[in-house]
Copies of this chain bind each other. A is one copy, B any other.
Amino acid sequence: MLENKNQNTTSLASLGEFGLIEHLTKMTTIQNKSTVKGIGDDAAVLKLKNETLISTDLLIEGVHFDLAYMPLKHLGYKAVMVNLSDIYAMNGMATQITVSIAVSNRFSLEALEELYAGIHLACKNYKVDLIGGDTTSSTKGLLISITAIGEAKKEEITYRNGAKPNDLLVVSGDLGGAYLGLQVLEREKQVYQVDPNSQPDLEKYNYLVERQLKPEARKDIVTLLKELEVKPTAMIDISDGLSSEILHLCKQSNVGCDLYEDKLPLDQQVISTCEEFNMNSTTVVLSGGEDYELLFTVSQKDFDKIKGNPHLTVIGFMTEKNQGVNLVTRAEQKIELTAQGWNSI
């Protein structure tokens, strides 16, 4: 599907650079008043009322994604999510993105249209405007560079460094699903390579596969926290794995942490698939990445506001720095957390 061998596909060279950008972005609609001028000039012009938030991420074929099982539309959607997640992790609202892509001539126009369909859908669902970017050829593969822009009132911005001892450690949603989804897809890819006629039955892994292929950034949690009148003391998004993110929060806030193994929120598919793959679910949660949930700390006085909320789980509490960063196991042993949440380079 991706290879440009089909006579019905259109080569990129036939459009030229400007024609290509125009074609891919003609579907763009502006939803935010803060977008004064989008695509089409030397720079976009924004009128943001509050503090501006900026974050950027680079996704590279063969390093961050594998087109063998990642449909291009999903890839476009996910690439936007990864970036918006960083804005939500500041307790802000994302308003605009720029998208730059580099593609080798193996991609057809139709393939890029699929990619942009995902990007446009993400923009629509999250009320974010596509305001610019760059399109160029690459000598190898596909590369996507996105910069997300957002805004937040000064007093609402949540940094990584505000956690205090005794604050509660809270996570949204459940963890480990995206990593297991990747394992399932990798296994199917290997089966397919041996027997191209095999028909994968991914039904029993549908939640995991969706977590991997079509994650949703937790804009809803930022809204929920405002409704609950809870301002987190520190926040980060979970891209590299829970362990790595907790260590970031602790280092920057100069605190320690006790994380409770028996509190980790796990979907039933995570539990059953861990059993099937003979994996430890705690290891998967601590080290597996790409869940794009929000991890934050709140003052104990806010406990009543979040208690019992189906979207939020208290998984531990912050301590003095000299107490260290620990996992308290089901057997009530304390084990020091290490940054296994490690991806590329």
Contact = CB atoms under 8 A, between A and B. Distances in A.
Interface of A: 12-13, 16-17, 20, 36-37, 40-48, 51-58, 60-64, 85-87, 89-90, 92, 96, 98, 100-102, 131-141, 143, 145, 147-150, 154, 157, 159-161, 235-237, 252, 342-345
B102 A43 contact: no
A60 B136 contact: yes
A-B pairs, top 5 by smallest CB distance, nearest first, are: A43-B55, A145-B145, A42-B89, A46-B52, A42-B86
Contact of A92 (B43, B150, B342): B43
Contact of A45 (B20, B53, B344): B53
B51 A46 contact: yes
Contacts of A98: 54, 56, 147
Given A41-B160, A60-B139, A139-B140, A96 B54 contact: yes
Given A54-B131, A58-B136, A137-B345, 6 more contacts: A43-B86, A43-B89, A46-B51, A46-B54, A48-B52, A58-B145
B45 A139 contact: no
Contacts of A345: 12-13, 16-17, 20, 135-137
21 contacts: A16-B342, A17-B342, A17-B345, A20-B345, A40-B160, A40-B252, A41-B160, A41-B161, A42-B89, A42-B90, A42-B237, A43-B90, A43-B92, A45-B51, A57-B100, A60-B136, A60-B139, A61-B139, A63-B136, A102-B143, A137-B345
Highest count of chain B CB atoms <10 Å: which of A37, A56, A64? A56
Contacts of A47: 51-52, 154
A140 B140 CA distance: 7
A136 to B, nearest CB: 5
Highest count of chain B CB atoms <10 Å: which of A45, A86, A143, A252? A45
B56 A52 contact: no
Contact of A138 (B48, B63, B150): B63
Contacts of A16: 342, 345
Contacts of A147: 54, 56, 98, 147
A92 B145 CA distance: 24
A54 B58 contact: no
Contact of A54 (B43, B60, B61, B86): B43
Nearest to A53: B43
Given A42-B160, A150-B43, A345-B16, A139 B56 contact: no
Contact of A56 (B20, B133, B141, B344): B133
A143 B140 contact: no
Contacts of A60: 102, 136-139
Contacts of A12: 345
Contacts of A343: 17
Given A44-B53, A89-B43, A157-B45, A102 B139 contact: no
A342 B141 CA distance: 22
A262 B192 CA distance: 66
A58 B159 contact: no
